[in-house]
Amino acid sequence: MRRDPSHLRRANARAREGIMNSVRLFSVITFAVLGAGQVVLPSAVVAQIPAVSQPLLIKPAHQMKLKSLIAPFISAPRTATPFISNTVVQQKKFTDFALRSLDTRDLKGVKPSLYRGAYFKPLVEEKRKCIVKRESEGYYEVRGGGGNRYFGAYQMSQELAQGATWMMLPEHKKLMGTSEAKKVFAKLRKTPPNKWPRYFQDAAFSTVHNWESTGSGASHWAGGRWHC
């Protein structure tokens, strides 16, 4: 029995439509899982696609349906996190330590130097402790000497302490960041040295005492009740 050619064309069209519906569904699933990259079809599906003279495209109406299907699988865009360099983080940690830590706010006792920077000399540490004991008995807030003109654990004059802030500034620009260091040392200059945190009193001593070389500034602490 001979079939009507138009009947065969309609049957082939229905077969192609069924295959393409399967392809579209697979494309939706693959797009949702893999993202917006190229969709790779299984070889079994590719083999069933009849040859056509024009590429098969998804119409805009179908694209709208795709968006609604895929939306649950796509996460919302993340807010960009500002980049913070490790150097900035370390500078902040150091500033908090020097100004606000429990150790730097402890202003009583002869203890190891909190300052361990470029001018700290381990060989001078026992002498430094001796000077603290002799000058202030370890009381960093003390003020004394003739006319109460000497301040803190190391009994520095106001002039010596002021000079020490300028000597310490270049090193602390690297440790704290330039802007922060300038603000901190400007505030120290307006503050009596016996009110400085322990860290900065220790730093001032080591910087002055070892400025040009180890012991080059020792003459500032040459006198006293006993020799150190």
User: What is the residue type of 226?
Assistant: W
Task: For residues 38 and 30, give the distance between their C-alpha atoms in angstroms, rounded to a whole number.
Answer: 9
Residue 194 is encoded by which pair of tokens?
């016996």
Judge if 58 and 159 occupy the same domain.
no
Judge if 108 and 179 occupy the same domain.
yes
**Full-prediction pTM beyond 0.75?**
no
pLDDT at residue 27 tops 90: no
Number of neighbours of residue 26 by Cβ within 10 angstroms: 15
Residue 85 is encoded by which pair of tokens?
């360099």
pLDDT at residue 56 tops 50: no
Judge if 26 and 104 occupy the same domain.
no
* pLDDT single digits (tens) 133-179: 999 999 999 999 888 999 999 999 999 999 999 999 999 999 999 99
Judge if 162 and 202 occupy the same domain.
yes
Query: Mean pLDDT, to the nearest integer, of 196-214?
Result: 98
pLDDT at residue 208 tops 80: yes
Domain that holds residue 43: 5-73
Task: For residues 67 and 70, give the distance between their C-alpha atoms in angstroms, rounded to a whole number.
Answer: 5
Task: For residues 23 and 21, give the distance between their C-alpha atoms in angstroms, rounded to a whole number.
Answer: 5
What is the band of 52 on the pLDDT scale with cuts at 50, 70, 90? very low
- Non-local (6+) Cβ contacts of 50 within 8 A are 12, 15, 16, 19
Number of structural domains, the chain?
2
Q: Taking a C-beta distance cutoff of 8 angstroms, is the pair 198, 103 a contact?
A: yes
Considering the domain boundaries, does residue 81 fall inside one?
no
pLDDT score for 73: 42
Judge if 124 and 210 occupy the same domain.
yes
pLDDT at residue 192 tops 80: yes
Judge if 203 and 140 occupy the same domain.
yes
Three-state secondary structure call for residue 201: helix
Judge if 212 and 171 occupy the same domain.
yes
pLDDT at residue 123 tops 90: yes
Considering the domain boundaries, does residue 124 fall inside one?
yes
Considering the domain boundaries, does residue 226 fall inside one?
no
Number of neighbours of residue 53 by Cβ within 10 angstroms: 4
Judge if 45 and 141 occupy the same domain.
no
Task: For residues 150 and 15, give the distance between their C-alpha atoms in angstroms, rounded to a whole number.
Answer: 101
Query: Mean pLDDT, to the nearest integer, of 101-113?
Result: 98
pLDDT score for 85: 77
Number of neighbours of residue 145 by Cβ within 10 angstroms: 13
Considering the domain boundaries, does residue 113 fall inside one?
yes
pLDDT at residue 125 tops 90: yes
Give the distance from CA 222 to its chain's centroid. Answer: 44
User: What is the residue type of 27?
Assistant: S
Query: Mean pLDDT, to the nearest integer, of 188-203?
Result: 98
Judge if 96 and 165 occupy the same domain.
yes
* pLDDT single digits (tens) 32-45: 444 444 444 445 44
pLDDT score for 4: 52
pLDDT score for 75: 47
Considering the domain boundaries, does residue 151 fall inside one?
yes
